[in-house]
Structure 1
């Protein structure tokens, strides 16, 4: 039916597929990271690590999230003729308000507080 070569290719493809699915399954979402106390709403209007030494996955999640927020803040700023600082301040206030009980937010002085 299949030659030895074809079986080898199929086997390799299956292994790669499984590894890709496992990697996706292990991906950490922002909500999960907040729930686990790894990430909180920073006093800057962005998210930050609650821990002093975050893992590479957590750092990447923070970077990705903050990149999206920055783009969003810039769009709102341009559309509403507001400074980026004004938009960021509004984002910070809204994020703190929407922080769920048990999740972290950062005070003006930089202290992490569990809501």
Structure 2
């Protein structure tokens, strides 16, 4: 496994760890919001609001900020474009989404994963 692939694996694992715990300002975790159909995985490696509810926009903003920082670090360390890291992360996150959670299809529409 190349260093880049190891870093990507660690990065994707890290996404789950830091997103699992809500901050003091959040009423639910990313996983809870995904399970409730409020948030989904986008094609660009970030999460998006599927159905608006109190606190969801803030949760999405915080998760996306953390992801962007992580993706930038990986891109910089591996001397590759940020959009390459984002695309790889999106592919992994969408493939790991649980059945019934929302993901974007190739057209950018929200669909429930089968």
TM-score range, shorter chain: 0.7 to 0.9
- List gaps (5 residues or longer) in structure 1: 1-23
C-alpha contact 2:38 2:53 (8 A) present in aligned 1: no
Equivalent pairs, count = 89
TM-score (norm 1): 0.73
Offset, 1:43: 1.4
59, 66, 69: which one aligns with 1:68: 66
Aligned equivalent of 2:75: 77
Q: Return the alpha-carbon distance in structure 2 between the equivalents of residues 74 and 98 of structure 1.
A: 22
Larger radius of gyration: 1
Q: Return the alpha-carbon distance in structure 1 between the equivalents of residues 103 and 92 of structure 2.
A: 12
Which runs of structure 1 show a deviation greater than 6 angstroms over 4 or more consecutive aligned residues?
none
- List gaps (5 residues or longer) in structure 2: 1-23
Q: Return the alpha-carbon distance in structure 1 between the equivalents of residues 82 and 54 of structure 2.
A: 29
SS in 1 for 2:40: strand
TM-score (norm 2): 0.74
Aligned equivalent of 2:36: 36
CA offset digits 1:54-88 (Å, max 9, x no partner): 23400000000000000000000011111001001
